[in-house]
């Protein structure tokens, strides 16, 4: 197996005015650096599979810093941090861009898609899906 390495060549001036090349070789030993090329390929494949602006928006939102911090909150009821099962189901479905229910017509007359995002913006939508 070939050990991945990165080589840099920097040029430093010497007193005579010419440049002296210095080669710096870094041997990659962290697992994350081994995984990174494959993850980048997978990331591009996922991004190219987005067929709508909605899916792309979801993907970009999940890549934002701290977008998954809510998953790290300890479920302490006294502090109001415990989510009901239904809230977790909806949050995960929105994050994964999966279907929450079947398409139907909202009380406001708009068509509600299976993704359920209309319920996030409509004041007439019921509290539950």
Toward Zn ion, which CB reaches closer, 29 or 111? Answer: 111
Alpha helix (H) ranges present in 1-129? Answer: 31-48, 53-63, 85-96, 118-121
Cα atoms found within 13 Å of the Cα of residue 95, Cβ hemisphere only:
14
Task: State the nearest-atom distance from the C-beta of 89 to Zn ion, in Å.
Answer: 20
In the complex, the smallest distance separating the C-beta of residue 57 from Zn ion, rounded to whole angstroms, is: 20
**CB of 44 or CB of 108, closer to Zn ion:** 108
Element containing residue 23 per DSSP (H, E): strand 19-27
Minimum distance, C-beta of residue 124 to Zn ion, in the bound complex (Å): 5
Which chain residues interact with Zn ion by CB under 5 A?
A: 106, 108, 110, 122, 124-125
Is 67 or 110 the residue whose CB approaches Zn ion more closely?
A: 110
62 or 110, CB closer to Zn ion?
110
The phi and psi torsions of 95 (rounded to 5 degrees) equal -70, -35
Q: How far is CA 118 from the centre of its chain?
A: 22
Q: How far is the CB of 119 from Zn ion (least distance, A)?
A: 8
């Amino acid at each position: 197996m070939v050990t991945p390495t990165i080589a840099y060549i920097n040029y430093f001036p010497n007193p005579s005015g010419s440049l002296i090349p210095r080669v710096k070789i870094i041997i990659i030993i962290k697992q994350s650096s081994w995984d990174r090329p494959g993850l980048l390929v997978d990331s591009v494949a996922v991004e190219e599979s987005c067929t709508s602006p909605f899916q792309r928006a979801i993907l970009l939102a999940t890549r934002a810093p701290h977008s998954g911090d809510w998953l790290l909150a300890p479920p302490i009821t006294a502090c109001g941090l415990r989510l009901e099962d239904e809230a977790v189901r909806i949050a995960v479905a929105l994050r994964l861009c999966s279907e929450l229910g079947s398409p139907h017509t909202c009380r406001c007359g708009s068509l509600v898609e299976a993704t359920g995002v209309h319920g996030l913006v409509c004041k007439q939508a019921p509290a539950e899906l």
